[in-house]
Amino acid sequence: MDDAVAHAFPLEPSPEDMHRLVDQAMAYITAHIDSLPNQPAANTEGGAELARSLREDLPEQGQPYHKILEFLFQTAIPTSFNCAGPGYLAYVPGGGIFHAAVADLISNAVNRYVGVWAAAPGLAQLEANVVRWFCDIVGYPQSAGGFLTTGGSLANFSAIFTARRERLPDNFLSGTIYTSEQTHHSVQKAALLAGFPPHTIRAVPTDVHYRIRLTALQQQIETDRHSGQKPFLIVGNAGTTNTGAIDDLNALADVAQRESLWLHIDAAYGGFFMLTERGKSRLAGLQRADSITLDPHKGLFLPFGTGSLIVRDQDTLRRAHSGDAAAYLPSMQDDPDFIDFCQISPELSRDFRGLRIWLPFKLHGIEPFRQALEEKLDLAEWATAQLRTMTDIEIIAEPQLSIVAFRLKRPGFDTPALNQLNQRLLNAINSRKRVLLTGTLLGDQTEDVVGGQFVIRICALCFRTHYDRVEMCLEDIRAACREV
Ligand SMILES: Cc1ncc(COP(=O)(O)O)c(C=O)c1O
């Protein structure tokens, strides 16, 4: 492209300008990624002032590129949780493998449309392959299918919506949904979005391992049937956010089968541990679910914005999500070999998310992902063994996957005092900035503790977290225990 054209159409950079844009950004990106281990695990002080100072009017004029990059990398990005760094052991860590960023650059630059098969048959097939691989990972049959979402919340939403359409009449308000006390709050939100008022959602108590109590579930279903409600959906957990708890999935599938209920499993965090032998045995029964949420931006270390919903029978998604044919769209596929994602999901126009997963899988094969997940299971087990050797530390939830929950105990302290002590302990650990841990409230399953006990969680899931960082975490816990 000549200079005159580039000048007349600034939204169309020349090939040289494209190189310059990417090369200059790359210089910052590589320096940033290189420095991740030395960056604070979280650095949000001054965040409110920063955010206020950044309000601005719609820019009428452009700014030099280097200034924009400098601002992003020196001002905006550093004031944040270091979610992509090795010390991020908080919440459920994401990832951010670089190959996915390259895939996004490609897919955004070519900007093809994969929502409708006819618009990009080959690319739609690549995304369909990714979905098929996910179905294979959990052990689903050939009838299975699914689609990629922006995350677990939207996957849970489409699952509940599909279950509603499959199991309830249009007038569905007598339908009841069964979750556990430990189910992620996105499930309740998804149910609300799917039209279910809070009083139709049951939170069944859990046992000492934070798994749904099956007798309580069965009793609740019977009570609801007797009072004229229509139980239609159980949402099981394959790795809770609080402690990584895995419900007895085979038992849930038995209940669902006996009662003719839809079984959805929220495996947003835990599902990809099916790649490992330990995960497979702990998640036994997962493939019996009617639908499963899996989050590649958790268990496959992808950047935020990549979730998925898979179902045993793809036709259920089609019945729930397909609309009448629109005259302005290309015709949809009748051949079962080809998929129009817009017919089985809520979205029409969207990014080509499939490439973000397809490219790294093709480049590396699945083995490095499997090994990284094995490593996370090892890290959680090892951290637990180390915590056990520390005076006054009590393990509240053994790792069922890669989360361990613990607290500091002191003789004579009641629950409110212990909660305060552990909140101070958490602050003291995090103040060292080598790791970021988070706390949560857990009901004591053996005593009735009002409001719950405050516990500290270590969640190892970032692909950059290795033994050395967990060692630092343990050192900081020891030092913080002495301090408080
Ligand atoms: C078990 C579980 N389910 C669902 C979600 C929601 O997923 P997302 O944040 O991708 O919407 C999370 C998020 O951490 C989760 O841990």
Task: Specify the range with the lowest mean pLDDT, choosing from 124-138, 175-189, 230-244, 321-335.
Answer: 321-335
pLDDT of 80-99, one tens digit each? 999 999 999 999 998 999 99
The whole-angstrom separation of Cα 405 and Cα 433 is: 20
Q: Say if ligand 1 is within 6 A of residue 266 CB.
A: yes
Looking at residue 256, its amino acid is A
DSSP 302: P
Looking at every residue in the chain, the average pLDDT score rounds to 96
Task: Please tell me the predicted confidence (pLDDT) of residue 216.
Answer: 98
The whole-angstrom separation of Cα 473 and Cα 381 is: 14
Strands, E, within 347-460: which ranges? 393-397, 403-408, 438-442, 453-459
Task: Please tell me the predicted confidence (pLDDT) of residue 2.
Answer: 56
Task: Please tell me the predicted confidence (pLDDT) of residue 299.
Answer: 98
Rg (CA), the chain: 24
Rounded distance from Cα 265 to ligand 1 centre (Å): 12
Q: Which residue puts its alpha carbon closest to atom 8 of ligand 1?
A: 152
Q: Say if ligand 1 is within 6 A of residue 220 CB.
A: no
Task: Please tell me the predicted confidence (pLDDT) of residue 94.
Answer: 85
Q: Say if ligand 1 is within 6 A of residue 186 CB.
A: yes
Rounded distance from Cα 187 to ligand 1 centre (Å): 9
Q: Say if ligand 1 is within 6 A of residue 264 CB.
A: no
Rounded distance from Cα 459 to ligand 1 centre (Å): 14
Task: Please tell me the predicted confidence (pLDDT) of residue 448.
Answer: 52
Q: Which residue puts its alpha carbon closest to atom 4 of ligand 1?
A: 152
pLDDT for residue 366 is more than 80: yes
Q: Which residue puts its alpha carbon closest to atom 5 of ligand 1?
A: 152
Q: Which two tokens stand for residue 344?
A: 């089985």
Rounded distance from Cα 428 to ligand 1 centre (Å): 27
The whole-angstrom separation of Cα 127 and Cα 49 is: 42
DSSP 463: T
Question: Is residue 109 classed exposed, middle or buried when 0-12, 13-18 and 19+ CB atoms within 10 A define those classes?
Answer: exposed
pLDDT of 107-121, one tens digit each? 999 999 999 999 999
Task: Please tell me the predicted confidence (pLDDT) of residue 449.
Answer: 53
Question: pTM (2 decimals)?
Answer: 0.97
- DSSP-H helix ranges across 72-151: 98-110, 121-138
